[in-house]
A and B are shown apart, each in its own frame.
Chain A
């Protein structure tokens, strides 16, 4: 049998059903008596709802019900809750305006849900939703963060002065000011982190059901079913948790956008209770564009103080972060604890001060999207470092090396709260430069120049934080949820194993990786281990999958549960083999009496546990099933080096990524094939952000990039082959040593791409290009600078 344990590239077991067309996604589900919900959404950015006339819609064929915000309010349904509270510089809490499920009084962004029509067929629901007559009074809107934070800007929420959700800071301002005062160089950079629309390929969907005894089931496209149960049950619909089951079956990608509790989940569940019929809603892609939480959208000013030799003395950053029209579930945490705390990056910059203002605008709410805060930090820092190199004349690789936190300095306390446990930036840098043939670049540049092309190379050396934790620290920082993970391991009487995990797989291959982990540790064959996730009716209370946490946190919970299984097994084995517990060791799936050839396989132990005839029943309960909750002691800190090589066609401004190398330190790897795939996917999204993607709004808040016709998704011919390497330093505080791999690709790559583009254009006097670096942007630079160069 092929090796299928930790470190083996086992082929994925979930592929069998996906490749056969037997995946089981929410929209694939149909229930007897099912009816369909269509949501009427605002087509304007900001308006007062003067009246809603639903009579024509209600009378349309097949229509069962039409509900508005007033109907929900009459049932005592409040707003959608926010899961993280940030405090202002002065200690006061952030502004947290009401986020109604269906708009009441005002609409605040294009896509804001106003009413729901429920009908016998999907087409009837949609036909009738058009018949709602809504009398709007348009109000001035604002989409851009700078405009929204300017004096006199339209107010998104009348009660939120200046549209400021919070004004927060971190770091030692005095120390930073002092360092700037003695700096040899001060390098300044203004940059924008472009707004992205996640676009998981499966549009969101929700199916609500309510049985005769008042038990509700919601099947939903979610990354974290228990979080949805807690938020929707306790805060929105007031359904006790024992009467509310959330199922998140196969989910077609999430990238963060399916973490949050969305209005439609509450709508179908509530309506199912009222109508006592299953109610299904499935987003059309155009709805996804205007209702899935968007990502990024920062405007920042950064300054680095540098000494004569090129050492970073201090970093000063001020950022405006777009929250959109309402606070999505975890939005406030993204530009604060997931962003500003990462501004040290891989550098030993001794003093850092960052201020962040979160601003409401008439746009779709913004929340965590693959990387969440960390890509914004990495982009700012890695761009700034390149500009420092440019302006001080120090080679960009040498500058980085000079400022790296040395491998022997770990654990390392940054000036912005985090304590990094491990890393080796020299190692990942050296490996990436080698794999990318950095040394051979000048020859390739010259060769490209002979073909009339501009070639550039860029690097980024980054670090990020995954597996956000520990719960009590996050709680002190404003989290309103726990950040542990749970695993239940059930060894069946004949020795096969079912693993119940609170993590949720929506593409990550957990059914394979977790089975490998458990099979390896318990010494049972891979095919004897099954993984169950995504159903609050089956699994203990878990937190789901986001922030690259599943293995580092969820896997660690499994290790803890297995430790308990083994400990109990040892006691059973000691009884069966008449030895003392201290003499029993567990290895390769068997309990052995040390120093003898006496052994019992796990299956023999489990059989004894469930058929306790010969069993220490006085001191031990029957059964072999254990649950463990694991609350991490710290974040994990993956990092690495990405090298990107581009070629620009100066006539059109088109950039082609010709080579991309990612060498990431993700800690212990269970399945290298899956890790490589995660990194490639993340890099693709990072290249997308750097060159192609960008949500476009007009000044008022009308969404201009509302479909795949106008929002550029990376396609196969936009991307290069992506070479992935992993170098490993172990996480020191979790039992697996794993750090996380889901987001590294999206975090490390955007600055590498833009650094390469700037490098390609270095003869044109370019200092910085904001993302996405579209052909027209690049062509404009070339066109504007050509005459100057010609004159030189």
Chain B
């Protein structure tokens, strides 16, 4: 089996994988990072979203081998070492943007990418459109949209500083 090396949440890791091993399987099964979830088999629900080299991707639709040499960030890599939540995590909590928690890791990873890619600002309608790749069955999205809007100034303020 081929071996790959990559950086996950800032740490160098290597693992043996099959050709068919998906990135999400590498994360969950080989690296024990079970925060990234699998909610479908047709690349639609977004429960598995992680960042690869700074872009949000569906880790169920990427071979582990394609991530060889990449930098991957998962939900486990967001909070500071002292446990301080990323502003997006904090706003999800503040605005009750999660219920069962299953879609949440992917939703948060997508949300961060959305805010980062739109420094010019985001309307509520845009946030809803940008969330096309993530399904939530619990919240009706109302509070997710609110949380993302609330995280926006916090994230861009931080970048400006």
Consider the complex of A and B and state whether they touch directly, i.e. have CB atoms less than 8 Å apart: yes
| CB-CB contacts below 8 Å: A673-711 with B | 673-674, 676-678, 680-685, 707-709
B98 touches A19 (CB 8 A): yes
Number of interface residues of B (CB under 8 A): 56
> B70 an interface residue at 8 Å Cβ cutoff?
no
Q: A18-B101, A123-B20 are in contact. Are A681 and B42 (CB under 8 A)?
A: no
> B64 an interface residue at 8 Å Cβ cutoff?
no
Interfacial chain A residues near B102, Cβ < 8 Å: 23, 25, 200-202, 252-253
Interfacial chain A residues near B79, Cβ < 8 Å: 20
B89 touches A708 (CB 8 A): no
Give chain B nearest CB distance to A345 CB in angstroms: 24
Name the contact of B131 in the complex, choosing from A18, A22, A717, A721 (C-beta under 8 A): A717
Name the contact of B99 in the complex, choosing from A20, A21, A507, A745 (C-beta under 8 A): A507
Interfacial chain B residues near A681, Cβ < 8 Å: 99, 137-140
B35 touches A11 (CB 8 A): no
Closest Cβ neighbor of B94 among chain A residues = A11
| CB-CB contacts below 8 Å: A703-748 with B | 707-709, 713-717, 719, 721-722, 745
A20 touches B137 (CB 8 A): no
B35 touches A20 (CB 8 A): yes
B128 touches A716 (CB 8 A): yes
In angstroms, Cα B138 to Cα A682, docked, is 8
Closest Cβ neighbor of B40 among chain A residues = A285
| CB-CB contacts below 8 Å: B71-117 with A | 74-76, 78-79, 85, 89, 92-94, 96, 98-105, 108
| CB-CB contacts below 8 Å: A290-329 with B | none
Q: A285-B45, A716-B127 are in contact. Are A201 and B137 (CB under 8 A)?
A: yes
In angstroms, Cα B93 to Cα A509, docked, is 12
Q: Mark A22-37, 1 if CB is under 8 A from B, else 0.
A: 1101011010000000
Name the contact of A509 in the complex, choosing from B18, B92, B99, B131 (C-beta under 8 A): B99
> B16 an interface residue at 8 Å Cβ cutoff?
no
Closest Cβ neighbor of A20 among chain B residues = B79
Give chain B nearest CB distance to A258 CB in angstroms: 11
Q: A12-B96, A201-B47 are in contact. Are A21 and B76 (CB under 8 A)?
A: yes
Q: Mark B37-71, 1 if CB is under 8 A from A, else 0.
A: 11111101101000000000000000000000000
Q: A15-B92, A203-B39, A253-B102 are in contact. Are A28 and B34 (CB under 8 A)?
A: yes
B99 touches A677 (CB 8 A): yes
Number of interface residues of A (CB under 8 A): 57
| CB-CB contacts below 8 Å: A242-271 with B | 250-253, 255
Closest Cβ neighbor of B135 among chain A residues = A713
A15 touches B137 (CB 8 A): no
Interfacial chain A residues near B29, Cβ < 8 Å: 30
A22 touches B35 (CB 8 A): yes
Name the contact of B100 in the complex, choosing from A16, A252, A682, A685 (C-beta under 8 A): A252
Give chain A nearest CB distance to B74 CB in angstroms: 7
B33 touches A21 (CB 8 A): yes
> B5 an interface residue at 8 Å Cβ cutoff?
no
Q: Mark A451-492, 1 if CB is under 8 A from B, else 0.
A: 000000000000000000000000000000000000000000
Interfacial chain A residues near B99, Cβ < 8 Å: 253, 507-509, 677-678, 681
A residues lining the B interface (CB < 8 Å): 11-12, 14-23, 25, 27-28, 30, 123, 199-203, 250-253, 255, 284-286, 506-509, 673-674, 676-678, 680-685, 707-709, 713-717, 719, 721-722, 745
B residues lining the A interface (CB < 8 Å): 18, 20, 28-29, 33-42, 44-45, 47, 74-76, 78-79, 85, 89, 92-94, 96, 98-105, 108, 124-125, 127-129, 131-132, 134-145
Q: List 8 A-B contacts (CB under 8 A).
A: A20-B35, A23-B35, A23-B104, A27-B38, A201-B137, A673-B96, A681-B137, A715-B135
